[in-house]
Amino acid sequence: MLPRLAITLPEQGVLDPAALFAQPPQAVWLEIGFGAGEHLAEQAARHPEIGFIGCEVFENGVACLAGEIACRGLANIRIFADDARLLLDRLPPASIGLVFALFPDPWPKERHHKRRLVAPATLDRLARVMQGGGELRLATDDPGYLAWMLEHLTARPDFHWAANRPADWRERPAGWPATRYEEKARAAGRAPAFLRFIGRRPPAT
């Protein structure tokens, strides 16, 4: 199935994400690091009007998602089996409505922090491709990475943390399917955190 699902970046110019789908979607959502794909497949099944792009570098995860797509008969998912930053750099501004990055590798050793997904360069890319009012959803069960995420995102004027009370980040919101990583964290006694940030477009000049 992969030749039909895989995204190939154009040699020149930008990639129109809506053009990847046979039926023009109402919006395009992106998941970075979809793991085995259970969250992405469930979201696609719940929202057939949305086009979904999943990024994952691990072959086993891509194969698992392809199996989910086949079993569920999903027509609204496309796969980029490479570094998500390459895709982000080719997307037009304000072309993505919602971004998921759920339980990314925390790279806990300080010398590895530069490898973290939530970092200034990647956030710059996301701020550019996300629509105004679009949403960035993050989840982690690592306290150090949680503090890192909040430190980097709350300092930015282009993202607003959509939390008004502790339950807004301690409890998984409705409409946010669980993943196997969340289940593993809870089984090990770790409490996941769920963060929602709303993108802000810069004022017109």
User: For 77-130, how does the pLDDT look when each residue is reduced to its tens digit (9 = 90+)?
Assistant: 999 999 999 999 999 999 999 999 999 999 899 898 999 999 999 999 999 999
Neighbour-count burial for 49-59, b at 16+ CB within 10 Å, e otherwise: ebbbbbbbeee
CA distances from 30 to 43, 60, 170 (A): 11, 19, 23
* Tokens describing residue 60: 């086993």
- Give the alpha-carbon dihedral of 87, 89, 94, 98, to 10 degrees: 40
> What's the length of the chain?
205
89 classed as catalytic = no
Domains and CATH numbers, the chain: 2-8+24-199 (3.40.50.150)
Of 16, 83, 105, 124, catalytic: 105
Within 10 A of 170 (CB to CB), how many other CB atoms are there? 12
User: For 118-174, how does the pLDDT look when each residue is reduced to its tens digit (9 = 90+)?
Assistant: 999 999 999 999 999 999 999 999 999 999 999 999 999 999 999 999 999 999 988
CB 103 within 8 A of CB 190: no
pLDDT at res. 202? 58
pTM: 0.94
User: For 34-93, how does the pLDDT look when each residue is reduced to its tens digit (9 = 90+)?
Assistant: 999 999 999 999 999 999 999 999 999 999 999 999 999 999 999 999 999 999 999 999
- Enumerate the H helices of the chain as residue ranges: 2-5, 38-46, 59-72, 84-88, 120-129, 143-154, 167-170, 180-187
First CA to last CA across the chain, in angstroms?
45
Phi first, then psi: give them for residue 204, nearest 5 degrees.
-65, 145
Q: Closest Cα to residue 61, out of 80, 81, 41, 36? A: 36
